[in-house]
Chains A and B, each alone.
Chain A
Amino acid sequence: MELQLQNLSKHYGKKCAVDNINLHLVPGVYGLLGANGAGKTTLMRMVCGVLKATSGNIRLNGKTQQELGERYYANLGYMPQDCRFYPGFTAREFMLYMAAVKGLDKKKAKSRTEELLYMVNLQDIADKKIKSYSGGMKQRLGIAQAELDNPSVLVLDEPTAGLDPKERVRFRNLISGFAKEKIVILSTHIVSDVSYIADTILIMKNGRIILQEPVGAVTCGIKGKVWEVLVPESEADMYNMQFSVVNLHHENNMVRLRIVNKEPPAPGAVIVEPGLEDLFLYYFGEEAKEEKLHVN
């Protein structure tokens, strides 16, 4: 199983949302990281065939979406960002409906529905209308429907957004369980989610994939660029504005700052081991700083 994205671009007028992306994906979990507006959702929608690329193509096992037609979609499970449902349907009805959309026969649809509802722990409320479900329940239903036909490509767009920490852990475990022998593309801007379950990290910025590395090696590039420094409380804001601050911890009248920067941010700054959050900030520090300015 291999999924190839060749020279894939998407333009909206003059704006380029996805810019000439080339990827070769084999079974494994790919954590797609990027700031809001980086082009993650656009890319995933093109992979799912619900958004037409301006140029380039997507091949599954060497054949394009167009050549495969229904067979392409038969290999696909998609959980969109902000997954919506039909409020008048029960979870069981929705699963059976999606099973019909995915072309499962009646018997398989029923058994797979029950199996998945059990796996996502919705079996007890499966006959309740979806409109009565919480956000977490809807997210679980979203991933359950994506898994219905046991697809070989699973695309999950911000699956943990809006979930509380307990739900997020539960959700990560679910994804890990479903991920075996599949190409799983998981987009998020919550770094800790991918650090637990991804095999490969893809970082997307301004419509381009700027980094593709195995999760263990992904931080190598910023070794020596992550610092810790202890500064007086009164200077913390100045550092915060000037540098990409990953973490800020108060210690008596001082503040310990974790900063991503090429040069030492202050005399006495100490190099520390980089993590995924540092990496994220290294690439998206400017956006983060802009956000800070907007907030201030």
Chain B
Amino acid sequence: MLIKYEFLKILRKKSTIIIMAASFILTTLLFGIQIIQYQVYNENGVIKGPAGIAYEKEQYKDLSVSLSEEYITKTILEVQQLFKNPDNIGYDGNEQFLIGDAYWNSIAPREKLLNTISKAYDSPDGTLGYNKFRNLDIKNGANFYQAVKLKIKTLLDDPSGNLSVCQKEYWSSMAEKAGTPFQYGYYGSWEIIISSFELLIFAILAVCIVIAPVFSGEYQAGTDSIILSGKYGKTKLVTAKIISSFLFGIIAFTLHVVLAYGIIFAAFGTDGWALPVQIANITIPYPFTFLQAALINIGVIYLILFAMVSFTLLLSSKMKTTYLVLAVLVPVLFIPVFLTPNGTTGVYNLVLFLLPYRAVMPEIGKYISYQFGNFVFNIFSVRAVLYVALTLIMIPFAKLGFKKHQAV
């Protein structure tokens, strides 16, 4: 009963409706813009928006293939054949590339796939794309998966990475778990989802703003003394306030997620959910499908949400006004936006990747690990443990803050 009324108190506020409406509009714009701005090229020019998406999906119909050694060898050979005809080659004074029908018919429709394959043979910071195939020695086959392994090793051994032996072993062993050959196919929606998790930070902020007055609003409105003098004012009511805040947070955030990904799925479809994330970047060490990667990161984001809700409630129980709560909360959420990592190791980077804004990004392509003694943990596990711990620590303090509040 108390939970119901506390939940109603949150919902009935005019500010809740305004903030939620604004947040839903913002989410629609942020995710909708990815459809409007989406563009692909063909020989006739640029195709934008839903037409571009439909065109690309059509191109992918022939690309739902298993990336076997035979298929990759054959693909590389086809590109090499194209380069053998001088009429197909253009030169911009810097590099040579395929032009005309050779490009538009044989490269453009599968350029993303060719780029994925070429990364296995390119240098760590190389961006040669299909050009890399021109002089590739494939007499003994493409040895693609061997090249992937070597590429990962090169990245792990890079001195700037500063990884310990344990960490290198951890990542190598994880990368080996990715099942081969990779299945390729269309994964338009998942590419956007994986790369735009940070946009959900606004939904977290909206939830926190709405629940900021849960305790401080009572102090500000002067209703604290009336409820604290009730039989359950310092006991069950506090629990009800916390539960209803979490309930609101979960429902409101889930609606944002459904809205955001509903928009993306409506435009791009759900194709590719079972494909391995390596087809977007062959050096990703996590042996996940796109769906698994998305779900794991969403799970972590929910834990971040819980911790931020707990933090908001803690501030709310300790501060006299809602404005003070927001004055602390907003910088905590958004200062990390202006801090850029300069690597994947070192205290600064390792802390930065755990701060709320950065922590919503999956960073699955980076070898970010936390070593405690001989134990190595990936970023998902550390974030999950950290945010669960923060939630468990802050909730009792929030409870105590209200219980001990003095209605002066």
Contact = CB atoms under 8 A, between A and B. Distances in A.
Are these two chains actual partners, yes or no?
yes
Interface of A: 45, 48-52, 70, 73-74, 76, 78-80, 82-86, 88-89, 93, 96-98, 100-103, 106, 109, 145, 149
Residue picked from A78, A82, A101, A103, most chain B C-beta under 10 Å: A101
B173 interface: no
A278 to B, nearest CB: 33
B5 interface: yes
Contacts, number: 85
Interface stretch (B8-16, B152-160, B339-347, B360-368): B8-16
B5 A93 contact: yes
B276 to A, nearest CB: 51
Contacts of A85: 223
A45 B223 CA distance: 13
Given A80-B225, A96-B5, A102 B230 contact: yes
A78 B9 contact: no
Contact of B233 (A73, A79, A86, A149): A73
A106 B5 CA distance: 13
Contacts of A74: 231
Contacts of A45: 225, 407-408
Given A50-B224, A86-B12, A98 B230 contact: yes
B238 to A, nearest CB: 11
Given A70-B235, A85-B223, A100-B2, A76 B229 contact: yes
Nearest to B221: A84
B315 to A, nearest CB: 21
A79 B5 CA distance: 20
B229 A70 contact: no
Nearest to A155: B229
Interface in B59-75: none
Contact of A101 (B13, B222, B231, B408): B231
B86 to A, nearest CB: 77
Nearest to A89: B12
A53 to B, nearest CB: 11
Contacts of B234: 73
Contact of B407 (A50, A93, A96, A149): A50
20 contacts: A45-B407, A48-B225, A49-B229, A50-B224, A50-B228, A51-B408, A70-B232, A78-B226, A80-B225, A84-B226, A85-B223, A86-B12, A89-B9, A96-B1, A100-B2, A101-B2, A101-B230, A103-B231, A109-B1, A149-B231
Interface in B218-261: 221-237
Contacts of A51: 406-408
Given A80-B222, A98-B226, 4 more contacts: A100-B5, A101-B230, A102-B232, A103-B236
B40 to A, nearest CB: 50
